[in-house]
A and B are shown apart, each in its own frame.
Chain A
Amino acid sequence: NAGVTQTPKFQVLKTGQSMTLQCAQDMNHEYMSWYRQDPGMGLRLIHYSVGAGITDQGEVPNGYNVSRSTTEDFPLRLLSAAPSQTSVYFCASSYQSPGQGAGYTFGSGTRLTVV
């Protein structure tokens, strides 16, 4: 049982480039989310999904797009990378929404540097 798999683990982008961070889970979890972690700021929610075909914005969605075509996958797209998007990105999933009592299973993160 792999849990939540994030790829790549490390990435360096040039300003203006686009890329997709991959997130896949094999636990049949309905709820998935993306966070970014910056020093001194904790984790901030970018986007989340309560099921296939349903996504919504978190607190810092600008510059990021998501889609959820399958239960297993929840990719995060950076359309035009900016240095302010240098961060560590975490994908998390759970069988229910947080308000229903479910704790997250986190991936191991993607460290992104935009130069």
Chain B
Amino acid sequence: AQSVTQPDIHITVSEGASLELRCNYSYGATPYLFWYVQSPGQGLQLLLKYFSGDTLVQGIKGFEAEFKRSQSSFNLRKPSVHWSDAAEYFCAVVTGGGNKLTFGTGTQLKVEL
């Protein structure tokens, strides 16, 4: 079955440092992939998505992600992290013939000042 794996449960970075959150997918064809962010006590917010075309996707809040078919990855990046980026980040893949969105287990980001 199609799925995504987020290998890192927790990541800590210093404010101003660069960030890369990993997401690996398991899918035979070209997957449709999303990244969402969840601030404490909130629902999830869409950061960006990949369906086709350019493999480097720009999102909100200065985030970007790169689709790499050879590595089955869709890693999320930000060049300079702000303290307000501390949150939980979820990668997700479209499944169920296009009617379902399956989420990874999430990566909790802590930002040190």
| Residues of A near any B CB (own CB < 8 A) | 4, 33, 35, 40-45, 48, 50, 56, 58-59, 90, 92, 97-101, 103-104, 106-109
The answer to whether A100 and B98 have CB atoms under 8 Å apart is yes
Number of residues from B at the complex interface, CB < 8 A: 24
The answer to whether B94 and A99 have CB atoms under 8 Å apart is yes
**With an 8 A cutoff between CB atoms, is B34 at the interface?**
yes
Q: Which residues from A are CB-within-8-Å of B9?
A: 40
Tell which of A43, A90, A97 touches B99, judged by Cβ atoms closer than 8 Å: A97
The answer to whether B43 and A43 have CB atoms under 8 Å apart is no
**With an 8 A cutoff between CB atoms, is B63 at the interface?**
no
Tell which of B32, B97, B104 touches A42, judged by Cβ atoms closer than 8 Å: B104
Of chain B, the residue at the smallest CB distance from A6 is B43
Q: What's the Cα separation between A101 and B9 when bound, in Å?
A: 27
